[in-house]
């Protein structure tokens, strides 16, 4: 489990790491804050559920169903996490 | 006249080697893939020796990227064996030369992805919302092995997934052959994969007294490689292992039109059901099965030059199988070389039957019988089990048979290709 808040850059890097691992995205594919999960990273609907689950496990944050459609980019996920920080 | 069915590709992934060649070489050298594993010793298992494929599968760092999301070992084993068999058949290089919709897939397993189920159940319990991985269901269903092979090898013919316990692999080969005979396909990739190392399964077999278990004073205590000892006087249960075996079958016309190399001919087969008991074998129904395979191949019992046994190393199976062989082969039973490679490989449940079929084909090609290792004679099992040392022999026809819990049997007869 990784505590939040991290600095923006560190949080983005951590989110990228979790997404890469969860969706098995090869190292040759660059992932940035602007990367769109579906269009750019080719994460399908099933993979997206897996990514969200891994994010929740990793950061110990519950992502509400209503929020899911708004998490289009990697940066959106990081912003959501920053906004729902559980300060250790 | 029924079409002749050829074996044109074989591959196995076992605790003795991650290819048919590596496994074969170790088998004929009399080696064992059974080890004591620390994670079994300390993980709540009633048996801590087993046959595990080293440096393989999810989390190993060298997993097959195509199936990396699906963390069940049986899928990775199935994929590796299927890729190898397909490669050996030469069909991967003949893309466009055949219709992929005319390639059937029959891949079985006794248990499927129970390792993934167990891992996800544990994760689920730790989550407030009780969520599980979206890959759990796709990763544990038995027919996903055929699904992944279809997806990644680009094969679109009929697919089936026999779950016939320890006979699954042989049943898959029979189903593939039947699809070819029925004209539903020209080629078939058939076999089985298994990895069932979770405490409940191991301990379930142990509780049934089917497994060797942990026995104080047993010769496996000091040397785990002696744990599995089919037909031996001190056999005391099977040793669980994991693995996969695949064969590629082709009709005579596919062999001719595609220029494939025949490794062996699947000369005959039979399957039947005991209708007797949930777990104990029926001697008489197994006799019927072996006799039916001989009838199907139009062969006299004396024609069989090698019998690859189910030979689990349980007290009951090896005794009953010996009786079966005497009833089926008569006086020839005493001249017939019989071996169980489970002494070396342990028992990979559903996969074993397919691995043994592939090894039987290899025995015909190499004119060599792999030994029954760890063998100490038993007066009750008084046939020629090719003890401890491989043997050169003139082999034209060989039979491999398997029997599963639930009372399900198969026998396959292979002929050496000219």
- Alpha carbon distance A73, B329 (integer Å): 70
A24 touches chain B (CB under 8 A): yes
Residue-wise pLDDT for B316-338, tens only, equals: 999 999 999 999 999 999 999 99
Indicate yes or no: CB of B68 within 8 angstroms of CB of A56: no
- Alpha carbon distance B310, B166 (integer Å): 9
Q: Return the pLDDT at B290.
A: 98
Task: Find, in chain B, the residue whose alpha carbon is nearest to that of A64.
Answer: B129
A46 touches chain B (CB under 8 A): yes
Beta strands in B32-186 (DSSP E): 35-36, 49-50, 103-108, 159-160
What is the DSSP code string of B249-264?
EEEHHHHHHHTPPPSE
B134 touches chain A (CB under 8 A): yes
Integer CA distances (angstroms), A32 to A16, A45, A74, A75, B103, in order: 7, 20, 7, 8, 42
Residue-wise pLDDT for B207-254, tens only, equals: 999 999 888 899 999 999 999 999 999 999 999 999 999 999 999 999
Q: Return the pLDDT at B210.
A: 94
Q: Return the pLDDT at A62.
A: 87
Active-site option among B37, B76, B171, B310 = B310
Active-site option among B10, B15, B166, B190 = B166
Residue numbers of B between 60 and 99 with CB closer than 8 Å to A = 65, 68-69
Instruction: For residue B373, give the nearest of B227, B173, B210 by alpha carbon.
Output: B227
Q: Return the pLDDT at B127.
A: 87
Q: Which two tokens stand for residue B66?
A: 């195509």
Maximum average pLDDT range among A24-33, A76-85, B292-301: B292-301
Task: Find, in chain A, the residue whose alpha carbon is nearest to that of B63.
Answer: A24
User: Length of chain A in residues, anyone?
Assistant: 88
Task: Find, in chain A, the residue whose alpha carbon is nearest to that of B133.
Answer: A50
Residue-wise pLDDT for A6-45, tens only, equals: 678 899 999 999 999 999 999 999 999 999 999 999 999 8
Integer CA distances (angstroms), B127 to B88, B132, B178, B326, B335, in order: 46, 9, 47, 58, 62
CATH of region A8-83, choose from 1.10.1740.10, 3.40.50.1000, 1.10.1200.10, 3.40.50.300: 1.10.1200.10
Write the burial class of residue B154 (CB in 10 Å: 0-12 exposed, 13-18 middle, 19+ buried).
exposed
Question: Could you tell me if B244 and B366 are in contact, meaning their C-beta atoms sit under 8 angstroms apart?
Answer: no
Residue-wise pLDDT for B41-63, tens only, equals: 888 999 999 999 999 999 898 89
Greater model confidence, B131 or B363: B363
Query: Token match 């397909």: residue?
Result: B86
Q: Return the pLDDT at A86.
A: 59
B133 touches chain A (CB under 8 A): yes
Assess whether B347 carries a catalytic annotation.
Answer: yes
CB neighbourhood size of B79 (10 A): 27
Instruction: For residue B57, give the nearest of B43, B40, B74 by alpha carbon.
Output: B74
* Total CB pairs under 8 A between chain A and B: 24
Q: Return the pLDDT at A87.
A: 46
Q: Residue A47: its chain B contacts at CB < 8 A?
A: 69, 134
Residue-wise pLDDT for B60-83, tens only, equals: 988 999 999 999 999 999 999 999
Q: Is omega for the bond preceding B314 within 30 degrees of 0, making it cis? A: no
Domains and CATH numbers, chain B: 5-258 (3.40.47.10), 268-416 (3.40.47.10)
- Alpha carbon distance B20, B190 (integer Å): 15
Question: Could you tell me if B250 and B8 are in contact, meaning their C-beta atoms sit under 8 angstroms apart?
Answer: yes
Integer CA distances (angstroms), B307 to B133, B223, B304, B395, in order: 45, 28, 7, 11
Task: Find, in chain B, the residue whose alpha carbon is nearest to that of A22.
Answer: B69
B122 touches chain A (CB under 8 A): no
Looking at the predicted structure, is the pLDDT value of residue B202 above 50? Answer: yes
Question: Could you tell me if B195 and B186 are in contact, meaning their C-beta atoms sit under 8 angstroms apart?
Answer: no
């Amino acid at each position: 489990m990784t505590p939040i808040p991290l600095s923006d850059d560190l949080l983005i890097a951590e989110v990228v790491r979790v997404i890469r691992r969860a969706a098995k995205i090869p190292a040759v594919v660059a992932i940035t804050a602007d990367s769109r999960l579906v269009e750019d990273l080719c994460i399908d609907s099933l993979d997206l559920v897996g990514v969200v689950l891994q994010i929740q496990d990793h950061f110990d944050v519950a992502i509400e169903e209503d929020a899911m459609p708004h998490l289009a980019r990697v940066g959106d996920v990081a912003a959501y996490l920053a906004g729902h920080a559980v300060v250790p | 006249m029924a079409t002749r069915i050829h074996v044109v590709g074989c591959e196995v992934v076992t605790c003795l080697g991650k290819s048919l060649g590596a496994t074969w070489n170790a088998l004929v050298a009399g080696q064992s893939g059974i080890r004591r594993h620390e994670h079994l010793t300390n993980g709540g298992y009633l048996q801590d020796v087993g046959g595990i494929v080293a440096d393989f599968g999810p989390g190993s760092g060298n997993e097959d990227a195509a199936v990396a999301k699906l963390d069940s070992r049986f899928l990775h084993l199935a994929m590796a064996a299927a890729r190898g068999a397909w490669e050996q058949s030469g069909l991967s290089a003949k893309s466009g030369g055949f219709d992929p919709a005319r390639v059937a897939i029959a891949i079985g397993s006794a248990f499927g992805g129970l390792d993934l189920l167990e891992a996800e159940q544990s994760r689920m319990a730790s989550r407030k919302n009780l969520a599980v991985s979206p890959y759990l269901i796709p990763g544990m269903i038995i027919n996903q092995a055929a699904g992944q092979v279809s997806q990644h090898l680009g094969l679109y013919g009929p697919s089936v997934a026999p779950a016939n316990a320890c006979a699954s692999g042989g049943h898959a080969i029979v189903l593939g052959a039947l699809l070819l005979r029925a004209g539903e396909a020209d080629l078939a990739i058939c076999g089985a994969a298994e990895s069932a190392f979770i405490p409940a399964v191991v301990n379930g077999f142990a509780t049934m007294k089917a497994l060797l278990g942990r026995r104080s004073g047993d010769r496996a205590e000091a040397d785990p490689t002696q744990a599995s000892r089919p037909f031996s006087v001190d056999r005391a249960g099977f040793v669980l292992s994991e693995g996969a075996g695949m064969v590629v079958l082709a009709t005579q016309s596919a062999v001719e039109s595609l220029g494939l190399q025949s490794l062996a001919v699947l000369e005959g087969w039979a399957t039947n059901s005991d209708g007797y008991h949930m777990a104990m074998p029926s001697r008489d129904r197994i006799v019927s099965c072996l006799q039916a395979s001989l009838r199907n191949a139009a062969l006299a019992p004396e024609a069989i030059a090698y019998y690859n046994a189910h030979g689990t190393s349980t007290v009951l199976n090896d005794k009953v199988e010996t009786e079966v062989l005497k009833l089926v082969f008569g006086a020839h039973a005493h001249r017939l070389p019989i071996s169980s490679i489970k002494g070396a490989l342990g028992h990979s449940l559903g996969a074993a039957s397919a691995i043994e079929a592939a090894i039987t084909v290899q025995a015909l090609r190499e004119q060599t019988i792999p030994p029954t290792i760890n063998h100490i004679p038993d007066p009750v099992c008084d046939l020629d089990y090719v003890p401890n040392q491989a043997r050169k022999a003139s082999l034209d026809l060989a039979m491999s048979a398997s029997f599963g819990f639930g009372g399900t049997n198969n026998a396959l007869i292979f002929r050496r290709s000219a």
